[in-house]
Structure 1
């Protein structure tokens, strides 16, 4: 696409519209879920259990995928206080797709990796016998869908961009997409991750995901931590103004704010800083949803 903010520095910007690869499970959510869904079905599971926050795109995608495949879905949601409030649009969509929502305290949510977490969940007062059995026998998918299967699924994203760009950039939540993207790119390409959460914890997580998926580090990648706008689901007037202007300039539908707007803001800022060599091509992966 033509954008003078990039062209002024001799840089070409492309958008890889991964948000268009599936109507209800778009972008990296499809790439990450597809291998997990195959594994669940191959093992005979009838329920998916996963985790996320109140505005999690991953929860929405899992609920939709479960509905389409005839699998029950259980979503463990961070924030016990949300149980007493009307469901926001994201969680309402999950519920409409049949996902059973379990709200837990933030302290309990941080313990979701512990071996007895599911056992504690089974004692939820609102879970009947069938619900408890479903949780016990469920195929577990981690927060954001990021595990070794998901990383292998996202490797295809990098392979599709081989020879087509110098830099492939993606917004990061849990790091699985970047881990796979970098692994699939060619040796002369690099991947850039733009975290949408605060904390500076993703370096180690991405390295561990690549080790679990491929046995060791793969590809060239780095993170720029400056563009989270205060944390997940946070933004502000500057991001809103940028997102509206970018969509209007290029005739795009409204930009998804949790990931895509932050990614494009980051790339525009980096271009202005001279971070990309003149003559280079930068591709932004639009992960969705639409």
Structure 2
């Protein structure tokens, strides 16, 4: 396992510097925040003598792929409850699901209505009846043990940064960062979803108040992209040799650059952006972009 800041920062006017913490390089499959979220959950599953991990996700879920990969590496059977039934006979057409299946995950497709009941006692009881005893991982992987893992994203060397930026999906990653950051540091989360409903979820577990959620760079909502975002991601890769995914880190980095250009950050700010991984999702997005005749993401 390795994690590092880029040694050479990206320089901007007014003395602003941007460093990137390459959490995407932690593990070839279970990368970024997924590695952090699963770490203590896998230890708990082992301690409870669980043999099977069961979780939930959409057709392009980073979490589904990460759980499947972790199961293969650490000796767990894995079950993925997938939202929507349209790909049940077309798994080979979806890179994320195909990889998860190759890792040995049993994929169970349910209707969107049924998926909406996934957190109810009745649904979970039905899953236990079908599959026996299992260790439950929530959609996206966020729970208290996941937050504990995400508290380890920042190291002692990161105390020098004035601002810490991360993308947000379920809120677990930013919560862990908030809990481990210094009181002088400003934590900014860039939401990949429409709306500011995550504020309350984060506040339940966050120990400090030095954080905010930016909802201006979701590009239409979760999984939505446009030409401007794709062009930025490709240009960023060309300039810095760092790939960004279109669901999370691409939107975050676009937001950081835009805020810098609009003088949001004070002069001489030292910004640390957390690269949370998610690169496996590029293949699926490129299939969608190609079908619509749009420019694909460079990898």
Q: State the TM-score, normalizing by the size of structure 2.
A: 0.86
The 2-side partners of 1:204 and 1:110 are apart by 21
1:91 to 90, 97, 103: 97
| SS of equivalent to 1:76 | strand
Structure 2: distance between partners of 1:99 and 1:90: 12
Where structure 2 has 5 or more consecutive residues not aligned to the other structure, the ranges are 1-7, 280-299
Contact 2:91 2:97 in 1 (8 A): no
Aligned to 2:229: 239
Q: Secondary structure at the match of 2:160?
A: coil
Question: Deviation of residue 122 (structure 1)?
Answer: 5.7
> How far did residue 81 of structure 1 move?
2.3
Of residues 187, 196, 211, the one that matches 1:221 is: 211
Distance 1:160 1:177, change over 3 A: farther
Separation of aligned partners in 2, 1:161 and 1:234: 35
Distance change >3 Å, CA 248–CA 65, structure 1 → 2: same
Corresponding residue to 1:41 among 46, 49, 58 = 46
Give the aligned length.
Answer: 271
Distance 2:156 2:188 in 1: 16
1:161 offset after TM fit, Å? 5.3
Contact kept, 8 Å, 1:190 with 1:219, in 2: the verdict is: no
* 1-structure distance, mates of 2:110, 2:33: 26
Query: CA 1:3–1:162 in 2, change beyond 3 Å: closer, same or farther?
Result: closer
Note the C-alpha offset of 1:198. 1.8
Compare 64-73 and 254-263 and name the one that shifted more: 254-263
Unaligned 5+ segments in structure 1 are: 124-131, 211-216
RMSD value over aligned CA atoms?
1.7
CA contact (8 A) 2:128 2:134 kept: no
CA distance in 1, matches of 2:230, 2:10: 19
For residues 43-69 of structure 1, give each alpha carbon's deviation from its aligned partner in whole angstroms, at most 9, with x where no partner exists. 000000111111110110000000011
